[in-house]
A and B are shown apart, each in its own frame.
Chain A
Amino acid sequence: MKKHDQTTTANLLEIQDLSVHFNTQRGVVKAVRDLSLTIKKEETLALVGESGCGKSVTAHSINGLIPVPPGIIEKGKIIFEGENLLQKTEKEMQHIRGVRISMIFQEPMTSLNPVFTIGRQIADVFLTHHDIPREEAFSRAVNLLDMVKIPSPETRAKSYPHQLSGGMRQRAMIAMALASPEPGLMIADEPTTALDVTIQAQILRLMVSLKKRVGMSLLLITHDMGVVAETADRVIVMYAGRKVEEADVYSLFDKPAHPYTLGLLNSLPSNRKYAGASRLEAIPGTVPDLLTINDGCPFANRCPRAGDICRSVFPGETPLTEHHSVWCHNHVR
């Protein structure tokens, strides 16, 4: 365990040694391996990595939305407000999902039900968790649409998702997440990936301001280092199911220690200062097949600094500072 994690009282969520596997026709996919993380109250934690690195699977495990089968939680604990969510029944989870933990998904085009108006969908969340009349639920939905800055919320509430723009839909999704009675944690899975750059910034700002206003924590899942820089307090970098680096956002951008983090930062169009890179760089090679992955460092086959030990043993934690750790045999100094 990390030193700064010992103040457990301030931790809203604590994941310990989580491993999630999927049984497919081709074999067992080890989607998440030995992942630990914590989120403090009112903190924004960013989970960063390429698609397939296990960040979405992690998010879905928190909410109990991993389809079982084919998914299996191999081991680990997900402790939310002192209770292990993995030991809860489906019925108990329904009092946490949408009540204390809400979620925003990547595709605003497909994440809203096409055959119901958005007002109705938000009102349904209220009706699920409160014993209030339908009209009141609807007017509360309109209030939320107003809160996420959707213009003329009364008319918009009566619109179907296909009548709204992508940014508008994502705002509606956020409103829906806010419809939970006592939002403690909001999980945002690539909330801005499908949006235009200008809209992205607006949505991120909206999320950060709402987070402060409501006093909740935010788990932000993204592959976009730009989004991380703009929103996160702390960052965890994942690669092929493993955590490879964890740091506060300043240390990470200042002194990236894992070769993969370095690669991610180098591939940002605006960042050319790292490791003497002079142009936009893609990381060579491809993500390993999670079916055939061994116990070595999964990044070894793409890593310019990899040695023999990297291919056979996954490194332990190397603390660099109080708020910065890396899992690498040969990290950048």
Chain B
Amino acid sequence: MLSYILKRIGLLIPTLLGVITLVFFMISLSPGDPARVMLGERASAEQLEKLREDLGLDRPLHQQYFSYLSRIVRLDFGKSITTGRPVIEEIGQLFPATMELAFFAMLLASGLGIIIGVVSATKRNTPLDYASMIGALFGVSMPVFWLGLVLIMIFSVGLDLLPTGGRMNIRLYMETFTNFYIIDALIALFRKGDITYLGSALKHLILPAAALGTIPLAIIARTTRSSMLEVLKQDYIKTARAAGIPEGKIIFRYALKNALLPIITVIGIQFGLLLSGAILTETIFAWPGIGKWIYHSISARDYPAVQGGIIIISTVFVVINLLVDILYSVVNPRVRLS
């Protein structure tokens, strides 16, 4: 078990090295002069020369690569061209926002998705099952950004129930400690007894989390259903029934615990994908997270920011996939004890 985990971590390093290398060369070899792009058409020759020197662009490519690599190992992603601040600092500040959004989207998606999947599987081939599965099919076929706009159109513009974007009412000033607004709002609630912050933070979270969670919700519901159907066919379910164990207990304990194994994998993969799906959702809901920031960095051709952002998101993605694999083997006694 431990050797398996160590082996998986060992495999992580070449993959991440590959990611960094690929990102570096793709950006370096892309057409156009980064210095020119950054400074604009009216920059003077000296300005361009100066910037190239600052960025190390005048040195041979392999030298640039190795110095880049050595800086990344020290978590130095350079400075953002648009803001002039170190990239890692910006990411550190924006990351909680994205994690918060992704976490709640996933909470919604896995909670609802598992319930829908289990109900569908137990009520197989009933109208309820058909409705859920058609709904799930719509969920995976929908452009997320369009769903976001439609949600805004209905709940913000039409019904005026929820805000169109942002993380909190701009008129509220909240002290931030963690940059996870829900946590900060809870702190405010306990320290000042003021629930306004929590209310506002939650209200702002609902629509983006719903939009971001739709695809994973649909995928988790479908996976749960097929996984449950597979498990319910197994002999040990027959054994439990023959032993007179009540149906509810069979479904929610005997079957679901077995069915959860593939569901965990799917949840993990989806969580990793959410981080990049957030690019669209954050852009629509003006959510100040990594996704929106990467999008703006790409538009502004802010190369250090783009490189840093992509490497960080990919790293988190790969690490989450690894954690899921480990979690899978912990939950599954057949793997854990072998």
State yes or no: do A and B touch (Cβ within 8 Å): yes
Q: Are A97 and B236 in contact (CB under 8 A)?
A: no
State which of A99, A110, A187 has its C-beta within 8 Å of the C-beta of B236. Answer: A110
Q: Are A163 and B238 in contact (CB under 8 A)?
A: no
Q: Does A115 contact B (CB under 8 A)?
A: yes
State which of B249, B334, B338 has its C-beta within 8 Å of the C-beta of A114. Answer: B334
Which residues of the partner chain A approach B240 to less than 8 Å between Cβ atoms?
Answer: 113, 121, 124
Q: How far does the alpha carbon of A177 sit from the alpha carbon of B240 in the complex, in Å?
A: 10
Q: How far does the alpha carbon of A177 sit from the alpha carbon of B254 in the complex, in Å?
A: 17
Q: Are B245 and A162 in contact (CB under 8 A)?
A: no
Q: How far does the alpha carbon of A187 sit from the alpha carbon of B241 in the complex, in Å?
A: 13
Q: Are B244 and A97 in contact (CB under 8 A)?
A: yes
Of chain B, the residue at the smallest CB distance from A187 is B242
Q: Does B333 contact A (CB under 8 A)?
A: yes
Q: How far does the alpha carbon of A106 sit from the alpha carbon of B238 in the complex, in Å?
A: 11
How many residues of A are in contact with the other chain, CB < 8 A?
36
Q: Main SS of the interface on chain B?
A: helix
Query: Given A160-B337, A162-B333, does the pair A114, B236 have CB atoms closer than 8 Å?
Result: yes
Q: For chain B, which range describes its interface: under 10, 10 to 19, 20 to 34, or 35 or more residues?
A: 20 to 34
Q: Does B239 contact A (CB under 8 A)?
A: yes
Q: Does A271 contact B (CB under 8 A)?
A: no
State which of B235, B245, B257, B333 has its C-beta within 8 Å of the C-beta of A128. Answer: B245
Q: Does B132 contact A (CB under 8 A)?
A: no
Q: How far does the alpha carbon of A129 sit from the alpha carbon of B245 in the complex, in Å?
A: 8
Q: Does B63 contact A (CB under 8 A)?
A: no
Q: Give A86-122 as 1s and 0s: 1 = Cβ < 8 Å from B's Cβ atoms.
A: 0000100011111101110111001111111000010
Quote the shortest CB–CB distance from B53 to chain A (angstroms): 62
Q: Does A282 contact B (CB under 8 A)?
A: no
Which residues of the partner chain B approach A98 to less than 8 Å between Cβ atoms?
Answer: 242-245
Which residues of the partner chain A approach B238 to less than 8 Å between Cβ atoms?
Answer: 65, 103, 105, 111
Q: Does B21 contact A (CB under 8 A)?
A: no
Q: Does A48 contact B (CB under 8 A)?
A: no
Q: Does B258 contact A (CB under 8 A)?
A: yes
Q: Give B224-261 as 1s and 0s: 1 = Cβ < 8 Å from A's Cβ atoms.
A: 00000000001110111111111101000010011000
Q: Which residues of A from 30 to 88 have beta carbons under 8 Å from B? A: 63, 65
Quote the shortest CB–CB distance from B331 to chain A (angstroms): 8
Which residues of the partner chain A approach B247 to less than 8 Å between Cβ atoms?
Answer: 90
Q: How far does the alpha carbon of A95 sit from the alpha carbon of B337 in the complex, in Å?
A: 36
Quote the shortest CB–CB distance from B115 to chain A (angstroms): 20
Q: Does A227 contact B (CB under 8 A)?
A: no
Q: Give A163-185 as 1s and 0s: 1 = Cβ < 8 Å from B's Cβ atoms.
A: 10000000001001101100000
State which of A94, A110, A112 has its C-beta within 8 Å of the C-beta of B244. Answer: A94
- 17 further A-B contacts with Cβ under 8 Å, apart from A113-B254, A115-B331, are A63-B242, A90-B247, A94-B244, A95-B244, A97-B241, A97-B242, A105-B242, A113-B239, A115-B333, A116-B254, A124-B240, A124-B243, A124-B245, A125-B245, A128-B243, A162-B337, A173-B239
A and B contact pairs by CB, cutoff 8 A, 8 listed: A96-B244, A98-B245, A103-B238, A113-B258, A124-B243, A162-B337, A176-B239, A177-B243
Interface residues of A (CB under 8 A from B): 63, 65, 90, 94-99, 101-103, 105-107, 110-116, 121, 124-125, 128-129, 160, 162-163, 173, 176-177, 179-180, 187
Query: What are the 5 closest A-B residue pairs judged by CB atoms, nearest first?
Result: A98-B244, A103-B242, A98-B243, A110-B235, A111-B235
